[in-house]
Amino acid sequence: MTRKQPPDLDGKVVVVTGASSGIGRAFVERAACPGSRFALLARRGDLLESLADAVRGRGGEALVQPVDLRDADAARTAAEEALAEFGPPDVVVANAGLSIARSVAATAARPDSITRSVATNFTGPVAHALPLLEAMRGRGTGHLIGSSTANARLTIPGWGPYVASKSAWDAWLRTAAAELAPHGIAVTILAFPLVATEMSRPTLTGRRAMSAEDAADWISEAIGSRRPRIAPWWLRAAEVANAVAPTALARAIGRSSQRLSQP
């Protein structure tokens, strides 16, 4: 498949979370160019260092930030450090996430499934984004791109921790978009379908998935178009069906989704 042309990031500051692997890494590897400046955030510092070397090898600059977004204070500090290093970003790619497929019954024995999901998929990304958004608001321009899921506005039995936390993130991004537009800041929601990454590997068997490289192309498209949402072609129809017949749709989806739940 022919890859889309990456955006011209010469002279641009880009903050990427979840940059060590998967979608985030694929995007940075494609988009790094002379004059680009990246703040790279993820938990695994060794993988970030190798990615930073690749950015520098292409004539760009890179700040490595090994941070666990579940620590909201550390997330906020990382944003402040990125601002001190590069100034207000042109683009923030809030891509980090955690996928846990677990039923209500199984979550009773693993309540941390909820707290970990909410911290990684919602409260941590928000804590990290807020200082960056404030800096962009002061400058009068910027772009926040949030990785979400096509399931954020649907009912997916067996995936409560993941879908609930991503739904909160999705709703916050929509609210932020309305509030920030008058200040010159665009917000794009990427409603990804299943993407083949290290994180999703336990649930990939027998299922079609988008490649991380194709998902990274969505980020490039978002930067170029500044569209409010990029989603699979079928999602609008699914959301209409969910509004009209939510119980029937949830039962239909649940016949396959519950088989993927973790104990």
From 80-94, 118-132, 176-190, 197-211, the region with the lowest mean pLDDT: 197-211
Look up residue 99 and give its two tokens. 């996928």
Dihedral (C-alpha) 150, 156, 159, 163: value to the nearest 10 degrees? 40
Q: Is the pLDDT of residue 127 over 70?
A: yes
Mean pLDDT (the chain) is 92
Instruction: State the distance between the two ends of the chain, measured CA to CA, in whole angstroms.
Output: 37
| 58-101 tens-digit pLDDT | 999 999 999 999 999 999 999 999 999 999 999 999 999 998 88
Q: Is the pLDDT of residue 227 over 80?
A: yes
Supply the pLDDT for residue 25: 97
Q: What percent of the chain has pLDDT over 90?
A: 81
* CATH architecture of the domain with residue range 13-260: 3-Layer(aba) Sandwich (3.40)
Beta bridge partners of 189: 146, 229
d(CA 12, CA 219): 15
Q: Is 162 a catalytic residue?
A: yes
Highest mean pLDDT among 59-63, 204-208, 233-237, 242-246: 59-63
Domain ranges of the chain: 13-260
Q: What percent of the chain has pLDDT over 70?
A: 92
Mean pLDDT value across residues 185-210: 80
Supply the pLDDT for residue 203: 62
162, 169, 192, 218: which is the annotated catalytic residue?
Answer: 162
Look up residue 234 and give its two tokens. 């079928």
Report the 3 state secondary structure along the chain: CCCCCCCCCCCCEEEEECCCCHHHHHHHHHHCCCCCEEEEEECCHHHHHHHHHHHHHCCCEEEEEECCCCCHHHHHHHHHHHHHHHCCCCEEEECCCCCCCCCHHHHHHCCHHHHHHHHHHHHHHHHHHHHHHHHHHHHCCEEEEEEEECCCCCCCCCCHHHHHHHHHHHHHHHHHHHHHHHHCEEEEEEEECCEECCCCHHHCCCCCCEEHHHHHHHHHHHHHHCCCEECCCCHHHHHHHHHHCHHHHHHHHHHHHHHHCCC
**Which amino acid is residue 125, in one-letter code?**
P
Q: How many CB atoms lie within 10 A of CB 59?
A: 12
Supply the pLDDT for residue 158: 87
Measured in whole angstroms, the distance separating CA 166 from the mean position of its chain's CA atoms is: 10
**Which amino acid is residue 58, in one-letter code?**
R
From 22-26, 104-108, 193-197, 206-210, the region with the lowest mean pLDDT: 206-210
Supply the pLDDT for residue 5: 81
Look up residue 244 and give its two tokens. 């009209």
Q: Which residue has the tokens 């400046």?
A: 37
What pLDDT band is residue 155 in, cutting at 50, 70 and 90? confident
Answer whether 154's CB lies under 8 Å from 247's CB.
no
Look up residue 111 and give its two tokens. 């309540």
Q: Is the pLDDT of residue 202 over 60?
A: yes
Measured in whole angstroms, the distance separating CA 123 from the mean position of its chain's CA atoms is: 13
Residue with more model confidence, 11 or 198: 11
What pLDDT band is residue 260 in, cutting at 50, 70 and 90? low
Q: Could you tell me the CA-to-CA distances from 216 to 7, 40, 106, 121, 200 in Å, in that order?
A: 11, 15, 33, 19, 16
Mean pLDDT value across residues 186-211: 80
From 16-20, 65-69, 101-105, 216-220, the region with the lowest mean pLDDT: 101-105
